[in-house]
Amino acid sequence: MALKGLDIFKLTPRTNCKECGNPTCMAFAMKVAQGTAQIEACPHMSADALASLSEATAPPMKALKFGAGDAELALGGETVLFRHDKTFVARNPFAVTITGADADAKLEAAKKVDYERIGEHMKVDAINVEYTGDKAAFVDAVKKAAALGRAVILEVQDVDAAKEALAAVGDAKPILNGATPDNYKEMSDLAKGAGALLGVTGPSLDAIYDTVKALEEADNKDLVIDVGSASVKEAFANAVQIRRAALKDGDRSMGYPTIVNVSKLGGGCPHKETGLASLFTLKYGSIVILSEMSYAQALPLYGLRQNIYTDPQKPMTVEVGNYPINGAGADSACVLTVDFALTYFIIAGEIERSGVPMNLLIPDAGGYSVLTAWAAGKLSAASIAKFIKDADIEGTIKNRDLVMPGKVAVLKGELEESLPGWNIIIGPNEAISLVKFLKERYAS
Amino acid sequence: MAFTKNPQVFTAKVAEVTFGTGDSAVTLGGESVFPLYAFDQEYAHPPVVGIDFSDKGPDRDIPGVAEFYKGAESLADVAKRASEAEGASFVSFTLASADPNGDDAPIEESVAKCKEVADAVTKPLVIQGTGNAEKDGQLLGKVAEALEGKNVLLLSALEDNYKGIAVGAVLAYGQKIAAESAVDINLAKQLNVMISQQGVKSESLVMQVGTATAGYGFEYVASAMERIRGAGLSQNDDMLQAPIITPLADETWGVKESIVSEEDFPEWGPAEERGIDMEITTAVACLASGSNAVILKHPASVKTVAGIIADLM
């Protein structure tokens, strides 16, 4: 388990050769103990020391990748059960499931969701192809799924069908989800041969655990665990217990990402699938598979995922610039707020609700809320004037009305000096009053 | 070698608060496990879902809501219909017209409406005030008086009006109250401490710790609730053990994703479906983070979320 820096130091050559990039072996050992350096960075460790150390310093949950090129997705590598303890790292891909029978229509539908939200490209991240007994149709669907340029999951327990499907996707690095207590040896060989992750499934968590142990002994640790679909309660219990065993109890054999197939848990109801996808986004699905992904489902689910995977130490920010709303143009007035994403979204939403065309100006304010940014010196008359100049606002917008957040009314005088020709207007203190404010002032 | 199960059952537990009367009364809290971990230990009182409508009537702009309340015109009829919603364990009635920044309806009028609703419903009742500290401070006490014996849950007591509500609603008339704070464990604890100092016992106090719609800063909500539950259960902090109730319909039905029309955003599809999925996603996320009760408004959301809770228990 977790080794102390001194224990690691005893195994180093203690020559302070600096080849690892650290000034002393002691400094290096401390970094390894904290998890900020990898033991392999030292070229002079003995093989024995290396083996015992890499085992002891390995992260509690494997960090894996699947999919190739632009479709590559990161899984696992989580170190905490609650995001406030540090942060979650690998946002859960959302996949949709297809079969040989419905591949064309569902793949076409899967392309529809495609948008940007705070710098993140939202789309169906992966396609799950389920084998239903018709090998030719399955392989055909697998090819079509791979051609879509998304990561692919092969849900198949039949070894022959798995072999053909893997051959069909080439080097797309899929997940082969179908290792059971009965077939895991053959499936493991197939997955290794194709560079695929192997999904382990079974009738119970005990059976899954034994299969994982057997695979680890056969030297395959590129695994993901399917939490099963016997019932919602069991799938949730498995997802939580797997993650908890790995991160709290230090059981490495549970330290793998999970697959949750809510299309098999939702009883055919899209609303229920949405609710279950929400549940497993919080607690602890590494990949969540739905029947389909409509915009109605994507908008809340991708937004939730973006929130939950935000690093608590680094607030979400929007890009600096001008965001015209309600068809605003050069003649529309300006509203200014900060680049903290939550503030931006609330202000943008209120302006949209007002129906008044406004240019929403976002300067660099360090990702803080209005008052915090002001108190930290990140939102000042000078920083706003610099932004107006750098973003060439005066060149692109003719209107000279600038509505400021009411909470920083104190900046008015300085701003009038820094921005000659502008009409500085103090807006409301709270976003909720903005609709009324804008309507009264600008709606003709 | 079998997997070693290691259930996390704490010695501390979430406090139990019962509202309503008779067979339909609802108890919130009582669990000694993290949210929804019924596999660690069975819940005596599973989380519940309530259905909300305001005194201006249900939101009939939403087709599914209009259909559900079709033919129910009087407040009493609407309240009866709400009681019948599949999956709803309680009814929530919001005094929207009492808002001093809106219609500012007189207190007597609001109290009369509460009586009409309370006499019509067959399920436990939550009354939501206006959110305006001054108005609610006067209003909720009068409502508590008028509904004596109904054991209703009043939302909510704020930092600026808790004294009057604690004394006027709980101590004088035996009602239950929720202490409302803004997505912060310290603010939540501080208000619970102050309300307790007024003599309000844990069996009468629920927390409303704030919410956000999925995508709109929900990470703060998840972390605030998880930290509150963590402190209450693993550190046995009895000032953070009150059950959590989360009204979220107004928030989730107010964001762009739920309201812009299909004409303006054709690729997004029908607005109602978006609103329902936003309400469901946010509700389930609140329950997974620590809410013992959520309050929704669309009957389809109520049914779906209650179904998911039932599956998990």
Residue B2 near chain A (CB below 8 Å): yes
Closest CA of chain B from A299, distance in Å: 7
Interface mutation vs chain A, best among B10, B184, B219, B234, most A CBs within 10 Å: B219
- Give the residue among B295, B302, B292 at the shortest CA–CA distance from B46: B292
Return per-residue pLDDT of chain B as tens, 313 residues.
689 899 999 999 999 999 999 999 999 999 999 999 999 999 999 999 999 999 999 999 999 999 999 999 999 999 999 999 999 999 999 999 999 988 999 999 999 999 999 999 999 999 999 989 999 999 999 999 999 999 999 999 999 999 999 888 999 999 999 999 989 999 999 999 999 999 999 999 999 999 999 999 999 999 999 999 999 999 999 999 999 999 999 999 999 999 999 998 999 999 999 999 999 999 999 999 999 999 999 999 999 999 999 999 9
pLDDT at A3 (0 to 100): 67
Q: Which of B3, B219, B280 sits opposite A275 (nearest CB)?
A: B280
* Chain A residues touching B260 at Cβ < 8 A: 352
Task: Please name the member of A84, A295, A297 whose beta carbon is closest to the beta carbon of B227.
Answer: A84
A1 — pLDDT class (breaks 50, 70, 90): very low
Q: Tell me which residues of chain B, numbers 105 to 144, contact chain A at a CB-CB cutoff of 8 Å.
A: none
What lies within 8 Å, CB to CB, of A219 at 6+ separation is none
A295:B274 CB<8 A: yes
Rounded Cα distance between B213 and B44, Å, is 29
Measured CA to CA, the distance from residue B44 to residue A32 in angstroms comes to 46
pLDDT at A122 over 70: yes
B219, B226, B227 member nearest A307 (Cβ): B219
Tens of pLDDT, residue by residue over A262-320, are 999 999 999 999 999 999 999 999 999 999 999 999 999 999 999 999 998 877 788 89
Residues of chain A with C-beta less than 8 angstroms from the C-beta of B284: 275-276, 278-279
Identify the burial level of B159 via C-beta atoms within 10 angstroms of its C-beta, where 0-12 means exposed, 13-18 middle and 19 or more buried: middle
- Inter-chain CB proximity A295 and B278 less than 8 Å: no
Q: Cβ A307–B226 below 8 Å, yes or no?
A: no
Domain ranges of chain B: 17-256+275-312
Q: Which residues numbered 32-71 in B keep a CB inside 8 Å of some CB on A?
A: 36-39
What part of B 152-171 touches A (C-beta under 8 Å)?
none
Helices A434-442 & A341-354 angle (0-180, nearest 10): 50
The CATH number assigned to the domain with range B17-256+275-312 reads: 3.20.20.20
Does A304 sit within 8 Å of B285, measured CB to CB?
A: yes
- Kindly determine whether residue B308 and residue A299, on different chains, have CB atoms separated by under 8 Å: no
Angle in degrees, CA A95, A286, A107, rounded to 5 = 5
Q: Which residues of B touch A231 (CB under 8 A)?
A: 311
Q: Residue B289 class from Cβ within 10 Å (0-12 exposed, 13-18 middle, 19+ buried)?
A: buried
Q: Residue A199: exposed, middle, or buried by beta-carbon count in 10 A (0-12, 13-18, 19+)?
A: buried
Q: Which of A87, A88, A304 to mutate to test the interface with B (most CBs of B within 10 A)?
A: A304
Nearest to A282 among B222, B280, B305 (CB): B222
**Does the beta carbon of B11 lie under 8 angstroms from any beta carbon of chain A?**
no
Is the predicted pLDDT of residue A123 greater than 90, yes or no? yes
Query: Taking CA atoms, what residue in A is nearest to B280?
Result: A275
Residue B186 contacts A, CB cutoff 8 Å? no
pLDDT value for B31: 98
Residue B285 touches chain A, beta carbons under 8 Å: yes
User: How far apart are alpha carbons A379 and B213 in whole angstroms?
Assistant: 27
Residues of chain A contacting B3 with CB distance shorter than 8 Å: 205-206, 208-209, 241, 245, 254
A248 vs A2: CA distance, rounded Å: 12
CB of B8 within 8 Å of any CB in chain A?
Answer: yes
Q: Report the residue of chain B nearest A308, measured CA to CA.
A: B219
Q: What is the mean pLDDT of chain A?
A: 92
Cα–Cα dist A366/A194, whole Å: 45
Q: Which residues of A touch B217 (CB under 8 A)?
A: 307, 342, 345
How many angstroms separate the CA of residue B268 from the nearest CA in chain A?
5
Top residue of B33, B86, B218, B267 to mutate, by most chain A CBs within 10 Å, is: B218
Q: Are the beta carbons of A81 and A244 closer than 8 angstroms? A: yes
A209-232 pLDDT, tens digit per residue, is 999 999 999 999 999 999 999 999
Taking CA–CA distances from A349, the nearest residue in chain B reads B256
**Residue numbers in B near A210 (CB within 8 A):** 1-2
pLDDT digits (tens, 9 = 90+) for A59-102: 789 999 999 999 999 999 999 999 999 999 999 999 999 999 99
pTM (predicted TM-score) = 0.89
CB distance from B312 to chain A under 8 Å?
yes
Check whether the bond before B156 is cis (ω within 30° of 0).
yes
Q: Is B256 close to A349, i.e. CB distance below 8 A?
A: yes
Give residue-wise pLDDT tens across range A348-379.
988 988 889 999 999 999 888 899 899 989 99
Q: Note the residue count of chain B.
A: 313
Chain B residues touching residue A283 (CB < 8 angstroms): 36, 288
Is 50 exceeded by the pLDDT of residue A11? yes
CB A175 within 8 A of CB A259: yes
Mean pLDDT confidence for A374-401: 93
Nearest to B216 among A209, A279, A342 (CB): A342
Strands B176-180 and B153-157 turn out to be: parallel
User: CA torsion sign, B144 to B149 to B150 to B154?
Assistant: positive
For residue A194, name the pLDDT band (cuts at 50, 70, 90): very high
A279 to B288: CB separation less than 8 angstroms, yes or no: yes
Q: Does residue A46 or residue A107 have the better pLDDT?
A: A107
Burial class (CB in 10 A: 0-12, 13-18, 19+), A118: middle
Residue closest to B134 by CA, chosen among B161, B101, B107: B161
Is the confidence metric ipTM above 0.90 for this complex?
yes
B61 burial level (CB within 10 Å; 0-12, 13-18, 19+):
exposed
Closest residue on chain A to B290 (Cα): A282
Q: Kindly tell me if the per-residue pLDDT of A260 is higher than 90.
A: yes
Q: Which two tokens stand for residue A200?
A: 């382990």
Mutate to test the interface with A, among B1, B3, B39 (most CBs of A within 10 A): B3
A274 and B281: CB-CB below 8 Å?
A: yes
Would you place residue A2 in the very low, low, confident or very high pLDDT band (cuts 50, 70, 90)? low
- Residues from chain A that touch B131, judged by Cβ atoms under 8 A, are none
Beta strands in A22-125 (DSSP E): 63-66, 73-76, 94-99, 114-117, 120-123
B211 lies within 8 A of chain A by CB: no
Q: How confident is the model at residue A444 (pLDDT cuts 50, 70, 90)?
A: low
Please, which pLDDT band fits residue A392 given cuts at 50, 70 and 90? very high
CB neighbour list of residue B14: distance below 8 Å, 6 or more residues apart = B29, B30, B31, B32, B229, B232, B233, B241, B242, B243, B292
**Hey, are the CB atoms on B36 and A236 less than 8 Å from each other?**
yes
What pLDDT score was predicted for residue A254? Answer: 95
**Distance in angstroms (rounded) separating the CA atoms of residues B308 and B292:** 14
Q: How far apart are CA A122 and CA B265, in angstroms?
A: 17
Burial class of residue A48, CB neighbours in 10 A (0-12, 13-18, 19+): exposed
Give me the pLDDT at residue B89, please: 98
Q: Which helix (H) or strand (E) holds B180?
A: strand B176-180
- Backbone torsions φ then ψ of A175, nearest 5 degrees: -100, 130
* Cβ contacts of A48 within 8 Å, gap of 6 or more: none
pLDDT (mean) for A32-39: 77
Q: Which domains does chain A have, with CATH numbers?
A: 5-57 (1.10.15.40), 63-308 (3.20.20.20), 321-442 (3.40.50.11600)
H helix runs in A180-247, sequence order: 184-194, 205-217, 232-247
- Say if the Cβ atoms of A240 and B37 lie within 8 Å: yes
How far away is chain A from the Cα of B142, in angstroms, using its nearest Cα? 28
Chain A to chain B Cβ contacts (< 8 Å)? 167
